[in-house]
Structure 1
């Protein structure tokens, strides 16, 4: 072992220790590696910086942007809503749909982002079904990890391993090379979680711990809105058709405030925010805040030919992707003081409806629209999230006290969802056909999303997880340094001498185990960077195909089921699921062993050795 290899191994060991301690941050450690390797003379500056020009780094950055486009257009949230509708009150059906939807969506966007989106959805469903979130959160995280096994672009380790194959003169993996393994492991994961979810049957928390941010449900309770919501479909013979809301005067005559309209548009249903000039169409579903007694509602439906519809959640919470709320306080000198809500023409001026009024700790329910506002009153307004946000630019008249937590889940480009799906389909089609390189296909999809206004440049740059990219760029020189100093050759020789006579299956199992164990301490991307050259060189030493060896490393890099800190996906669900470290060990270790067994037998069967 030469002194140059000792330097590289020492630097690698130091980097791993710093990764585990997370001080400094991983991307800072990666930059230190880029600086250190040229100073030792082992690599040139060009070799140390080669990762910045690697096409696969650009590909990963583009995939972050595409994932953000799917979020901004609300596709992820719509899948969550569809899942909740289909599940009904069946926990088994919910778990199956949850894992399938999360895995499918995670195959084309960041699994971390998908899990973050679904956490509030799952918490809401768990509360409605009165089951512990712990029975659903771990299946959610496992599905997010399994999604990395479904396609080439599902997770950075897949791209890293593919890139290493190309560097060794191979053609690399196709877009769906991973899919057979991912589908089998997903089915295995669903069955496994159905059997083991009873080990996670914690109690629903009732400790009254304070929330850092209020939710829409909190506002509905505080302002006593429950029971006032109505959904009424406009029948074909309704006299409302063709008339504007100003002409109909539903609020003054019938005590019915139209806060939104569900309207069919091509293939989707949109929720539009009405103003005084909005015309009612046949088939519209009116979302009403109703002050009138129940008898008056029956009379309204009979007279205006309206059909009552059921509700999915209290006071239009199910429409929170389009309709938002905010609390605003009347400040000194405000022009609102001494005027009623009707006199203010709130809807016409700010595109919002006032649905609640609190004076002190008391919510005023009677004659809300006619109550004269006083200094210190708090209004609850409802309307499009865009208009809710614009209230913050009106400090002279009122002060926005708080925006509910749901504002973080708003899809600002909701109407552009078809363009996002088209862009995604174009990318997948180009990758499958091989007409252009994968990185070009991803960049074309990014440009299409920009042209379709699914995402803007600021959002695109914010979507890129720069820490992950810098980590990849910083770890790539390690693989080259180990190769130049003979480190990879030594690791391969040891592996072949110890296990060569035992056969390729045992070597594949050993590679899987080593990769999974290393992934407990450092990121799966860094693990793939280190292990891919070892696996491919081992195949060359044995005179075997490199594809099974490369695939086993990629699958093992995604099998981060064993601890809550082995993947950001697991860390995300740790709090909402009220898990302990031991919970992941108890559930994750047996499942990782199952995945290893399945992978070791499937990989040589699909990719001949």
Structure 2
């Protein structure tokens, strides 16, 4: 059978898809800006794309988009009660230094929780706990953080509200085949996938995981031995009588003074106005040439046999500490440099090193453009630590020699009871079809605000607006695929050349294709692009369309093979010191395994 040629409109849409995918992969623009640019372009090219202005902005009023906004707020309400953190504290008591127990507890707790709470905040809460427990047990955090991310992703397949992708897929399924997902419709398959994934991570996976970070000492972890030194101030030094701020502002050296030691007294450079005195010992960060120039120019003597350790910079009773952080997706620091971010002025915190995956930057730190997932090692005051946690521009993953991450705060039992009751109510109302999920979720938001579980300002701050704008911009692309006949054209190609294969093989190929797309663009974009084609292909070969909808949905939630495919993968990239290849080594076998398991599971439960 000859395949009719695609329409001009379909070719235009295919071109827009190609450009969009390139921009997503290269990250020349933020993903949300790319999506909005796509939206605008589709309207400009309306004669070909068939997308009117009203259709272009329909993504903002789409039920899936509104539901996801509500779920971010509900998840934040649960998180702020401290119940997730409290559960994490119990892990330390259970594991008692055993790597197997710690890995099992990480997977066993994260997966089920991610089925009812957005998995991004779950991973954000657990990263510092897992890292801290790994240090206490002398286990490399690299052995635990990828499993943490993968378990959260797998847990998202348990319920309709487990991930934003599920909600978008449900809305598309309703439009394409008039079959939205119910709350627990695919839970049996989600349980199977979570169990298979957990067994893989506990067995084969743990042997494929690297040990990129071996040391618990943060100065060793960030390879700072050659970049931290002590210098003593001589009587002839022009620094005598000046404050640290005056000394650094009047001279051009690529160094940072971190603290002053005067006898048994310690002054933190970020907060002290003490004048430098003869015989003071200054702790300095910089490369060898910069420190040598600083010492020669200011009559300072370098103390080569006095190494600077974590304990030197973060003594248990000292005024400052070392803090490892990462830049989350919603941070305003993304796209800035350290020079424009001015962390020292804003937070009284000095950046000692920047880690991007396995690469660590020590020199000229003010130059690189900051990216999501970058890790910082900060020398900071205790007040800076509180400010960092409050503002959320940096996610704290580890704190040296402090009780800040190890002392649990008392649970507000009233808030916990209210938040859990509201979540259970939302799930029950949606599961019993008493109200649509979007209305139930919005009602839950109102209940959380009215009862004081979350304040209105916190509710707005909890939403990942990048994801929302990405959704709103990408949803009309699926509509354009349908209206121009692009989805039908691609589906007919698959029908023509896939007719030699059984339907179950075609189903598995769609799973694999969607998963590979999700690895390089975003899960939501992969669903929007692939689902209309999958449905048309299923109808063309006489298969069950809902089976293909489920394959696409589940595949998009298992983007294991890159750090950029899923946000939680990027969150653990720096704290684990991972390389890009680590995700392929551990994720590719799991993705192939789940291609088989999920495909056969769909066939067994729903037919094909």
Secondary structure of the structure 1 residue equivalent to 2:452: coil
Aligned in 2, Cα 1:24/1:412: closer, same or farther, shift over 3 Å?
A: farther
User: In the alignment, what sits opposite 1:20?
Assistant: 25
Q: Which residue of 2 aligns with 1:577?
A: 576
Match of 1:164 among 165, 172, 181: 172
Q: Which residue of 2 aligns with 1:219?
A: none
Deviation, 1:407, is 4.4
Residue of structure 1 in register with 2:329 after alignment: none
Structure-2 residue corresponding to 1:197: 206
1:509-588 equivalent positions in 2, closer than 5 A: 509-588=508-587
Q: Rate the CA distance shift 1:485–1:450 in 2: closer, same or farther, 3 A.
A: same
Change (3 A) 1:206 1:542: same
Is this contact kept in 1: 2:429–2:440, CA < 8 A? yes
Matches within 5 A, 1:319-398: none
Q: Distance in 1 between matches of 2:605 and 2:76?
A: 34
Is 1:92 the counterpart of 2:92? The answer is no
Are residues 132 and 441 of structure 1, via their aligned partners in 2, closer, same or farther at CA, if it must alter by over 3 Å?
A: same
Q: Do the aligned partners of 1:107 and 1:154 also contact (CA within 8 Å) in 2?
A: yes
Give 3-state SS (helix, strand or coil) of 2:219's partner. Answer: coil
Maintained 8 Å contact 2:59/2:473: yes
Distance 1:480 1:3 in 2: 16
| CA-CA distance at 1:147 after TM superposition | 1.6
Deviation at 1:403, TM superposition (A): 3.6
CA contact (8 A) 2:320 2:381 kept: no
1:102 CA drift (Å): 0.8
Matched ranges for 1:106-117 at <5 A: 106-117=114-125
User: Residue 589 in 1 paired to residue 588 in 2?
Assistant: yes
- Larger mean Cα displacement after TM superposition, 429-438 or 413-422: 413-422
Structure 2 residue aligned with 1:105: 113
What is the CA distance between 1:330 and its match in structure 2? 9.1
Pairwise CA distance, 1:417: 1.5
Deviations 1:240-272 (A, max 9, x none): xxxxxxxxxxxxxxxxxxxxxxxxxxxxxxxxx
Is contact 1:73–1:454 with CA below 8 Å preserved after alignment?
Answer: yes
Deviation (angstroms), 1:168: 2.9
Alpha-carbon distance between aligned partners in 2 of 1:37 and 1:446, rounded to the nearest angstrom: 34
Between structure 1 and structure 2, the one with the greater Rg is: 1
Local SS of the residue matching 1:519? helix
CA drift at 1:400: 7.6
Residue 69 of structure 1: how far off its partner (Å): 0.6
Deviates more, 1:507-516 or 1:194-203: 194-203
Task: After superposition, give the CA deviation of every residue in 1:452-495 in whole Å (9 maximum; x if it has no partner).
Answer: 21111111111111111111111111111111111101111111
Whole-angstrom distance in 1 between the partners of 2:171 and 2:416: 32
1:404 is aligned, of 377, 382, 385, to 385
Deviation at 1:540, TM superposition (A): 2.3
Distance 1:64 1:50 in 2: 20
Change (3 A) 1:460 1:412: farther
The answer to whether structure 1 residue 83 and structure 2 residue 101 are counterparts is no
1:362 shift after superposition: 13
Deviation (angstroms), 1:442 = 0.6
1:592-603 superposed matches below 5 A: 592-603=591-602
The answer for the alignment partner of 1:58 in structure 2 is 66
Instruction: Give yes or no for contact 2:35–2:474 (8 Å, CA) kept in 1.
Output: yes
Task: Report how many aligned residue pairs link the two structures.
Answer: 441
Q: C-alpha separation between the residues in 1 aligned to 2:88 and 2:529?
A: 37
- 1:512 is displaced (CA, Å) by 0.7
Q: Which residue of 1 aligns with 2:130?
A: 122
5+ unaligned residues in a row in structure 2: which ranges? 1-5, 223-267, 275-311, 322-345, 347-379, 391-395, 397-403
Is the 8 Å Cα contact of residues 130 and 141 (structure 2) preserved in structure 1? yes
Q: Give the distance between the partners of 1:441 and 1:327, measured in 2 at CA.
A: 52
Preserved contact between residue 135 and residue 216 of structure 2 (Cα < 8 Å): no
Helix, strand or coil at the partner of 1:168: helix
CA–CA distance in 2 between the matches of 1:468 and 1:378?
A: 39
The 3 A distance-change label for structure 1 pair 402 and 539 is same
Query: Which stretches in structure 1 are left out of the alignment for 5+ residues?
Result: 213-325, 333-359, 366-376, 381-391, 393-398
Moved more, 521-530 or 184-193: 184-193
Q: Distance in 1 between matches of 2:72 and 2:141?
A: 28
8 Å Cα contact 1:327-1:401 kept in structure 2: no
Change (3 A) 1:449 1:6: same
Q: How many Å apart are 1:207 and its aligned residue?
A: 6.6
Task: Indicate which of 48, 67, 81 corresponds to 2:75.
Answer: 67
Any idea what SS the aligned residue of 1:561 has?
coil
Secondary structure in 2 aligned to 1:6? helix
Counterpart position of 1:38: 43
Label 1:451 to 1:400 Cα distance change in 2 as closer, same or farther (>3 A): same
Displacement of 1:413 in angstroms is: 8.8
Aligned equivalent of 1:473:
472
Task: Check 1:592–1:401 CA distance in 2 against 1; reply closer, same or farther (3 A cut).
Answer: closer
Q: CA RMSD in A?
A: 3.0
1:91 Cα offset (Å): 2.1
Give the whole-Å Cα distance in 1 for the aligned partners of 2:539 and 2:316: 78
1:153-232 to 2 correspondences below 5 Å: 153-195=161-203, 196-200=205-209, 202=211, 204-205=214-215, 209=219
Distance in 1 (alpha carbons) for counterparts of 2:598 and 2:512: 11
Q: Distance in 2 between matches of 1:361 and 1:496?
A: 65
What TM-score comes out, normalization by structure 2 length?
Answer: 0.68
Q: CA contact under 8 A between 1:87 and 1:94: conserved in structure 2? A: yes
CA distance in 2 between counterparts of 1:17 and 1:566 reads 14
Give 1:606 deviation, angstroms.
Answer: 0.7
**So what's the TM-score if we normalise by structure 1?**
0.68
Cα contact 2:314–2:320 (8 A) shared by 1: no
Supply the distance in 1 between the matched residues of 2:489 and 2:118 (Cα, whole angstroms). 35
Q: Distance in 2 between matches of 1:505 and 1:169?
A: 19
1:156-196 deviation line (CA, Å, top 9, x unaligned): 22112211121135232211123222211221122212223
State the secondary structure of the residue aligned to 2:520. Answer: coil
Secondary structure of 1:209's aligned partner = helix
**TM-fit CA distance, 1:210:** 8.1
CA separation of 1:456 and 1:137: change in aligned 2, threshold 3 A:
same
Distance in 2 of aligned mates of 1:362 and 1:197 = 32
Q: Distance in 2 between matches of 1:413 and 1:88?
A: 23
Judge conservation of contact 2:320–2:382 (CA < 8 Å) in 1. no
Cα separation, partners in 2 of 1:401 and 1:143, compared to 1, 3 Å:
closer
